[in-house]
């Protein structure tokens, strides 16, 4: 475990050294927030969604974020074009299936994306992942409602069927490639008081995936790092979502090896 | 009056208990801000504007916000589809006619929306409401300019002709259903130093309308609650719009029954 | 120089007195941020991009911002329509060529815009300006990479060929109309830690251009003013991008004549 955590700290250092470009095709709610989070992490953001340029833009990218939060058929088309090119170039594609299961458009969009693009990581909440895995889940708009007791198995099953890493954020985060499963206990309930922390965690996952091609490690590292930042930001802003929001950027920016190594709170289950 | 204020406090409690989904079809300037304000109020936001999904999404909603701030013909089409479905389902539709009167596109869009959709509340500034009521108003971009002496009559007349509640925000807020008229004196001039406080007040109106089907009470309660939050946020951030912006979320999140009951500053005129 | 700085301070006063409307056709990442910055400066923002209304809206404007950060062919079409109307009406058009050179779509869009619209000011980073001037530049997404030793000559050459002012932001800002060249040393490295400070500087340039028709003076004044605000915001938020972001609005709002006159740090080279 010590080695694993050390690697997370090293990956954070690599992001800051290499400054990978994270190409986002994302929703209009969190464009500014995820661009700023990319910068705080030490990477460079670009938001570009026109069908006419996504293929070219992804050619410069270290990772590609596909986030369907405010999807339209045109955006899905751009995502598929960019995703295919990312696959061709070996650029990891990270899918955030915001609101999958809430409407037919969203569910169908995710199906199209998964059919045409090999994802490195799918990062969602327990309802979205449960629905994609076929075990169901309750979603209210884009929010997971209630507890899903079968979420670990659902995530593992989806990881196996898609041949990718599945990352489920919640009170306890679950990351799995179908064989290895990590449980991350960093984070704070304040993170649920602002919109877009899910999307931010996807962005940070993309940042780690740009420097670490074991995507299970990348996705786990991202949630450890973001969770620690959330804890630090929450320490002085309990009950104050607006203040917490500003300090969350400060905390991600201030993250260092020491914090990762001292504060990481995770457990990993390996196949027997 | 005491009973009326008590009901506002109770409605705030209901929002936090029921966590209604507030479906927004809104402008790209304030998507993040109004989503966060929805969360701070205790409700759940969803931003979804694709024609292909709005009808389905509004089926899960407690209220629907239609905000034309960055309108296109496609968005207006989605608003009409969603609004008709909301009417069919009894979901209250709240219209924010941003910049009505500034351009033909905006004025025509509002006419189309009012022809096809029965609104629960129209929430605008004095210029927008004056223009919709046919008494005129001066608008610079999306900002009301100058004073409109006939705004109370204009709001009452629009409320009667549309059969809905009309809510006019400004130094003093005016809410009317054509019979009852409320004057809300909560709020602070700092609220005009940041963009989107009008849109936020529409969002909060939608939150209240999701739990209170006397929409005159809902619209009045929303402006009392938001105004009190504005006063609290301004107390320590006079002359500092960026700091005020962050604290405005904190203040809405921290609102409770006590604050409503102690700080409400309103007057209600009933028909004789 | 004293007179020049005094004029900057006067122009800031004029913005606050006249409250010009700054019409933005801009990207979805910074819509909220640039609207808020416009308000903090003392001007009024309107974000309106529908082809059907841009011509009418620009008729009320004191300046027009054309920012291609998240361009699509439809947005470029709207920009050309609005830009032509601005030229016809004598409204200064300010171009922000975000990511020019990064993709063919962006480079071609800028070419179309420069062919059809006479810009008052082109405001970009050193890579964007270098590429537009034909001397090249290295861009990663929308970020200038490395140093461009020939940037002063490039800016001057672009200014001459386009017959407009060229404004290059960076550690040292360069503003030129091809004859006069200003070097602005205000600003702080913290400004590069958040997304959209380039776009904000374009917005502020538009605010100054609305009240000062010597656009060389307007563009220089904007960067002096914004740079001083950046220094003030950074003073207490070193290493804290989220906190800096909020305080940057406060600092622009708090700017006054005294601050401009005392803190301006610039050099001007006139033709011999």
Q: Quick check: B146 pLDDT over 90? A: no
- List the single residue in C with minimal CA-CA distance to B245: C246
Cβ count near A269 (within 10 Å): 12
Q: Is A247 on the interface with C (CB under 8 A)?
A: yes
CB contact under 8 A, B45 and A141: yes
Q: What is the pLDDT of residues B48-100, one digit of tens each?
A: 999 999 999 999 999 999 999 999 999 999 999 999 999 999 999 999 999 99
- The answer, for C248 touching chain B at a CB cutoff of 8 Å, is yes
CB atoms within 10 A of CB B272: 3
Taking CB atoms and an 8 Å cutoff, what residues of chain A touch B35? 29, 195-196
Three-state DSSP state, A87: helix
First to last CA, chain A: 16
Percent of chain A with pLDDT over 90: 93
Query: Which chain C residues touch A254 with a CB distance below 8 Å?
Result: 239-240
Residue A82: band (very low, low, confident or very high) from pLDDT cuts 50, 70, 90: very high
Q: Which of A242, A246, A250 is the best substitution to test chain B (most B C-beta atoms within 10 A)?
A: A242
Collect all residues with Cβ–Cβ distance below 8 Å to A81 and sequence separation of at least 6: A51, A54, A55
- Closest listed residue to residue A120, CA positions, set A157, A161, A166, A151: A166
Query: Is some CB atom of chain C closer than 8 A to the CB atom of B112?
Result: no
Residue B215 in contact with residue B121, Cβ under 8 Å?
yes
Among C44, C52, C82, the strongest candidate for a mutation testing the B interface, having the largest count of B CBs within 10 A, is: C52
CB proximity B145 to A under 8 Å: no
Question: Percent of chain C, pLDDT > 90?
Answer: 93
> Which chain B residues have a beta carbon less than 8 Å from that of C45?
141, 195
Residue C142: pLDDT over 90: no
pLDDT number for residue B145: 82
Cα dist from B85 to B29, B54, B58, B116, whole Å: 26, 9, 7, 11
* Cα–Cα dist C209/C122, whole Å: 12
The mean pLDDT value of chain B amounts to 96
Res C1: pLDDT: 78
Dist CA B189 CA B171 (whole Å): 7
Classified as helix, coil or strand, A1 is coil
- Smallest Cα–Cα separation from A204: which of A55, A56, A8, A70? A8
Q: Which CATH superfamily is domain C2-269 in?
A: Ribokinase (3.40.1190.20)
Among chain B residues, the shortest Cα distance to C27 is held by: B28
Sign of CA dihedral C65, C68, C73, C74: negative
Residue A146 pLDDT > 90, yes or no?
no
pLDDT at position B25 is 98
| Alpha-carbon distance B268 to nearest alpha carbon in chain A (angstroms) | 33
Residues 6+ apart with CB under 8 A from C149: none
Residue C146: pLDDT band with limits 50, 70, 90:
confident
A16 is in an annotated binding site: no
Assess whether pLDDT exceeds 80 at residue A187: yes
How close A248 gets to chain C, by Cα (Å)?
Answer: 7
Contact C194, C208 (CB under 8 A): no
Where exactly are the structural domains of chain A? 2-269
- Partners of C236 on chain A (C-beta within 8 Å) are none
pLDDT at A147 over 90: no
According to the model, what pLDDT value does residue C133 have? 96
A111 CA: distance to closest CA in chain C (Å):
26
Whole-number Cα distances in Å, B19 to A169, B16, B39: 21, 5, 9
pLDDT at A101 (0 to 100)? 92
Q: Which residues of C touch B196 (CB under 8 A)?
A: 32, 35
Share of chain C above pLDDT 70, in %: 100
| Full strand arrangement of the beta sheet holding A181-184 | A44-47, A21-25, A63-67, A93-96, A121-125, A165-169, A173-176, A181-184, A266-269
Give the Cα separation of A212 and A226 in Å (integer): 16
Angstroms from C108 CA to nearest CA on chain B: 24
What values do phi and psi take at B64, rounded to 5?
A: -125, 125
Q: What is the pLDDT of residues A214-228, one digit of tens each?
A: 999 999 999 999 999
Nearest CA in chain A to C30: A32
Chain A residues with CB inside 8 Å of B245's CB?
A: 242
Average pLDDT estimate for B131-149: 87
Q: Is the model's pLDDT at B203 over the cut of 80?
A: yes
For chains B and C, count residue pairs whose Cβ atoms are closer than 8 Å.
Answer: 97
pLDDT (mean) for C87-104: 97
B90 has a chain C CB within 8 A of its CB: no
Using a CB-CB distance cutoff of 8 angstroms, which residues of chain A are in contact with residue C33?
Answer: 32
Between B139 and B268, whose confidence is greater?
B268
With CA atoms as reference, report the closest residue to A129 among A114, A231, A118.
Answer: A114
DSSP output for C63-87 = EEEEE-TT--HHHHHHHHHHHHHHH
CA distance C30 to C199: 7
For residues B190 and A97, give the distance between their C-alpha atoms in angstroms, rounded to a whole number. 38
Rounded CA-CA distance B44/B61 in Å is 9
Chain B touched by C194 (CB under 8 Å): no
Distance of alpha carbon C272 from alpha carbon C269, whole angstroms = 9
- Asked whether the predicted pLDDT for residue B199 surpasses 80, the reply is yes
Q: Minimal Cα–Cα distance from C132 to chain B, Å?
A: 29
Per-residue tokens: B194: 């940041």
Q: Which residue has the tokens 């998964």?
A: A114
The answer to whether C57 faces chain B, any CB pair under 8 Å, is yes
CB A112 within 8 A of CB A94: no
In this predicted complex, what is the ipTM? 0.96
For residue B105, give the nearest of C31, C46, C50 by CB distance: C50
Q: What sign has the CA pseudo-torsion A155, A158, A159, A164?
A: negative
pLDDT of res. B187: 98
- Look at residue C271 and tell me whether its pLDDT is greater than 90: no
A200 annotated ligand binder: no
Interface mutation target, options A250, A255, A256, chain C, most CBs of C under 10 Å: A250
Instruction: Report CB contact under 8 Å: B53, A141.
Output: no
Q: Which residues pair with C166 in a beta bridge?
A: C122, C176
Contact A69 B47 (CB under 8 A): yes
What is the distance between the alpha carbons of residues A216 and A209, in angstroms, rounded to a whole number?
Answer: 9
Strand C173-176 relative to strand C181-184, pairing: antiparallel
The answer to whether B242 contacts chain A (CB < 8 Å) is: no
B249 in contact with chain A, both atoms CB, cutoff 8 A: yes
* pLDDT at B147 exceeding the cut of 80: no
CA angle B68/B74/B77 to nearest 5° reads 75
Confirm or deny that C169 is annotated as ligand binding. yes
How close, in Å, is residue A27 to chain C by CA atoms? Answer: 10
Percent of chain A at pLDDT > 70 equals 100
Question: Which band of pLDDT confidence, cut at 50, 70 and 90, is reported for residue C147?
Answer: confident
Pairing of strands A138-140, A121-125: unpaired
Contacts of A27 in chain B (CB under 8 A): 47
Residue B149 pLDDT more than 90?
Answer: no
Q: What is the pLDDT of residues A93-144, one digit of tens each?
A: 999 999 999 999 999 999 999 999 999 999 999 999 999 999 988 888 888 8
Mean pLDDT of chain C: 96
Mean pLDDT of C152-180: 97
- Give me the phi and psi of B29, to 5 degrees please: -80, -40
Is C220's pLDDT higher than 90?
yes
Is position C47 annotated in a ligand binding site?
yes
What size, in residues, is chain C?
A: 272
Residue C143's pLDDT is what?
87
- When pLDDT is averaged across residues C225-229 and rounded to a whole number, the result is 98
**B39, A194 Cβ separation under 8 angstroms:** yes
Mean pLDDT of all residues in C166-181: 97
pLDDT digits (tens, 9 = 90+) for A49-76: 999 999 999 999 999 999 999 999 999 9
Distances (CA, A) of A17 to A45, B63, B177: 15, 47, 61
Q: Which among A253, A254, A256 is the top mutation candidate for probing chain C, defined by the most C β-carbons within 10 Å of its own β-carbon?
A: A253
* C17: CB partners within 8 A, 6+ apart: none
DSSP characters for B58-93?
HTT-SEEEEE-TT--HHHHHHHHHHHHHHHHHT--E
- A94 has which bridge partners? A65, A121
**Where is A254: in which H helix or E strand?**
helix A241-254
pLDDT at residue number C148? 79
The helix/strand/coil state of A242 is helix
Interface touch C28/A36, C-beta < 8 Å = no
Reply yes or no on whether the pLDDT at C23 is more than 80: yes
The 10 Å Cβ neighbour count of residue B79 is 29
**Mean pLDDT on B136-140:** 87
**C103 and chain A: CB distance < 8 Å anywhere?**
yes
> Closest-CA residue in chain A for B47?
A70
Whether residues C242 and A254 touch (CB distance < 8 A) is answered with no
**Would the pTM count as exceeding 0.95?**
yes
How far B39 CA lies from chain A's nearest CA (Å)? 6
Cβ-based contacts of B78 with chain C (< 8 Å):
none
Pairing of strands B165-168, B266-269: unpaired
Strand locations in chain A (E)? 21-25, 44-47, 63-67, 93-96, 121-125, 138-140, 143-145, 165-169, 173-176, 181-184, 266-269
């Amino acid at each position: 475990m010590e080695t694993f955590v050390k690697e997370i700290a090293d990956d954070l250092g690599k992001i800051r050294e290499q400054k990978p470009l994270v190409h986002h095709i994302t929703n209009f709610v969190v464009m500014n927030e995820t661009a700023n989070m990319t910068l705080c992490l030490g990477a460079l953001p670009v938001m570009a969604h026109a069908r006419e340029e996504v293929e070219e833009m992804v050619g410069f990218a270290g990772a590609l974020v596909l986030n369907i939060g405010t999807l339209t058929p045109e955006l899905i088309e751009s995502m598929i074009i960019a995703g295919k090119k990312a696959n061709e170039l070996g650029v990891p594609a990270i899918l955030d299936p915001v609101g999958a299961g809430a409407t037919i458009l969203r569910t169908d969009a995710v199906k199209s994306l998964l059919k045409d693009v090999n994802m490195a990581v799918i990062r969602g909440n327990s309802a979205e992942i449960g629905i994609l895995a076929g075990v169901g889940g309750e979603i209210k708009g884009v929010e997971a409602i209630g507890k899903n007791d079968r979420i670990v198995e659902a995530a593992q099953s989806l990881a196996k069927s898609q041949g990718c890493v599945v990352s489920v954020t919640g009170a306890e985060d679950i990351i799995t490639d179908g064989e290895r499963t990590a449980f991350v206990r960093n984070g704070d309930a304040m993170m649920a008081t602002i919109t877009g922390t899910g999307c931010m965690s996807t962005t940070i996952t993309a940042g780690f995936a740009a420097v670490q091609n074991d995507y299970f490690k990348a996705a786990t590292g991202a949630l450890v790092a973001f969770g620690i930042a959330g804890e630090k930001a929450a320490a002085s802003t309990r009950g104050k979502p607006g203040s917490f929001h500003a300090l969350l950027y400060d905390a991600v920016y201030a993250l260092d090896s020491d914090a990762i190594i001292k504060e990481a709170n995770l457990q990993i289950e390996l196949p027997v």
